[in-house]
Amino acid sequence: MNADAFRYLYDYHFTENRRLWDNCVTPLSPEQFTRNVAYSHGSVRDQIIHLVDVDELWFNELRGIQPSEPFPAASLDDRKEIRTKWDRVEQSMRDYLAQLRDEMLSDKPIEEPEEDKGLIVWQVLLHVVNHGTDHRAQLLRLIHDLGVKTTSQDFIFYIYDHP
């Protein structure tokens, strides 16, 4: 893999995050958005917050900067604030990826926490996309169960549409 391959992979990640939000999350009622479920991180809202917070956390670790405070818990429909933060996190990730060079993929830039010190940049980058795919799949099932039409997020379909 090279830096361009990671930029392509992250374009997929960002596209699927946005498609999930636009097509599946926005149609939810406030009650559906915040309804607690006894799986993974809970409500649709809380699962999305987890996705945003984890993306931000890992990219902050790659940069060697302190993570920001996690988005506060809420039982209300705060989609506008969440979308604003998600857009900011995505732009920050895009900024990092725009500066990514092939030789950086083998670096070990993380100094804290201790358990992450040995991680190589390419491992972290793959993990973040894989983590996003996992949680989007959980969200798609949850949203389907709430009665909203969902779509596939298969990478191959992104490739077909973005050769």
**CATH code where residue 129 lies:** 1.20.120.450
Domain coverage including residue 94? 3-161
**Pairwise pLDDT comparison (71 vs 131), residue with the higher score:** 131
Position 75 pLDDT exceeds 70: no
- The structural domain count of the chain equals 1
Taking residues 1-14, report their average pLDDT: 96
pLDDT, mean of residues 63-83: 83
30 preceded by a cis bond (ω within 30 of 0): no
**pLDDT reported for residue 138:** 95
pLDDT band at 71 (very low <50, low <70, confident <90, very high): confident
Decide: 96 and 63 in contact? Cβ < 8 Å: yes
**Taking all residues of the chain, what is their mean pLDDT, rounded to a whole number?**
93
Residue 73 pLDDT: 74
Mean pLDDT value of segment 7-33 = 96
Query: What confidence tens digit (pLDDT) does each residue in 105-163 have?
Result: 999 999 988 999 999 999 999 999 999 999 999 999 999 999 999 989 999 999 999 98
What is the C-alpha separation between 93 and 103, in angstroms, rounded?
18
For the entire predicted model, the pTM comes to 0.92
**Position 94, amino acid:** R
Q: Which pair of tokens denotes residue 114?
A: 């201790």
- Predicted pLDDT at 113: 87
- pLDDT greater than 70 at residue 36: yes
